[in-house]
Amino acid sequence: MSDKETRGSQVAVQGKSMTSRSAWDSLRSGDSKQGIFRLRQSYAQHPTPSQIMEMGVAFLWTGDYQAAMEHFEHAIKSNRLASAKYYGMAGVSYWCMAQPGAAVRTWHAGLDSHFTEGAGGVHLPLLLLTTSILRAGIFPRGEAVEILQERISDPKRKGWLKNWPGPVAQFAVGQIDRSELAKRCNARTESETIHRKWLAAFYVDIIEYGKGSLNQGELRIATQKSADASRSEWSKEEEFLTLLWNEEFFIARNEASLEMAKWVEMLEGATPPPWAERYDRR
């Protein structure tokens, strides 16, 4: 998530109606039915981009991935210049339904979105890279890296990489190391710094797993930490919602929930893995 997106979501949260605020109180306390009902009311009255995101993220938070997918797919089809964020969230809805091939198709389709994050469109390629590591065979890792490198070296995007998550993309392709990435997590506010560090930690873990420096058990522990929304830094509603505006949060939550025994069984070939559906670029 870019600085602009982070600040935008925080401003949107701060200006929310009492209906929206009470909806998230309900959702966080486990009353999904009441929370979704209230958000549907708010969305029907004001179908703004912020409300589109909030409604879809609520579906994701409650585990209604089919509804989230349909919601964001509708947003994409209804907006001629759809935000890359809609593609990102639609894709992660597929991911959580064990359809990584569909997730990749959606993320790939959004690469040329008119509206991207402030770093010039590196976020969706980062999600493709994540797929190439976590679901090997669905999308070629070399191609994901190539897309990132092209965007990083594109003269038209020169200067954009200083914006978040530009440094994450540079780290992913080996242009900067972990020490430099940590330095670039420092932002103008404590809130932005916390969110940068969270996203950086997610990708450090993914890259290290891809290198073989983390095993599956260690990755699962790391994703459990990334998906722990009960931590003190997410106690305020605006911080909590900014966390949920990250596709990576739902990827982490999904990975953390996988039962290791079943995972190993699938990898050993006893049962075809749910991501056996390969990405078809035709």
Q: What pLDDT does residue 59 have? A: 98
Q: What percent of the chain has pLDDT over 70?
A: 84
| Range of weakest confidence among 83-87, 230-234, 262-266 | 262-266
Query: What range does the domain containing 11 cover?
Result: 3-276
Q: What is the pLDDT of residue 267?
A: 57
Q: Please check whether residue 150 lies inside any domain of the structure.
A: yes
The answer to whether residue 260 sits within a structural domain is yes
Residue 12, pLDDT score: 44
Q: How far is CA 67 from CA 24, 139, 178, in A?
A: 18, 25, 38
pLDDT of residue 71 exceeding 80: yes
Residue 281: inside a domain: no
* pLDDT (average), residues 143-159: 88
Query: Quick check: is 169 in a domain?
Result: yes
Q: Over the stretch 162-195, which tens digit does the pLDDT of each residue have?
A: 889 999 999 999 999 999 999 999 999 999 999 9
Confidence check: pLDDT of 116 > 70: yes
243-259 per-position pLDDT tens digit: 999 999 999 999 998 74
Does the residue 204 lie in any domain? yes
Q: Look up residue 162 and give its two tokens.
A: 């200083």
User: Which tens digit of pLDDT belongs to each residue from 5-24?
Assistant: 443 444 344 445 445 668 99
The angle at the Cα of 241, spanning 210 to 103, to the nearest 5 degrees, equals 40
Q: What is the pLDDT of residue 19?
A: 54
Identity (one letter) of the amino acid at 154? D
Is the confidence at residue 277, as pLDDT, over 70?
no
Domain assignment present for residue 165? The answer is yes
Place of tokens 């092209």: 150
Domain count across the chain: 1
pLDDT for position 271 = 52
CATH number at residue 178: 1.25.40.10
Q: State mean pLDDT over 237-244.
A: 92
238 by Cβ neighbours in 10 Å (0-12 / 13-18 / 19+) ranks as middle
- Average pLDDT of the residues of the chain: 86
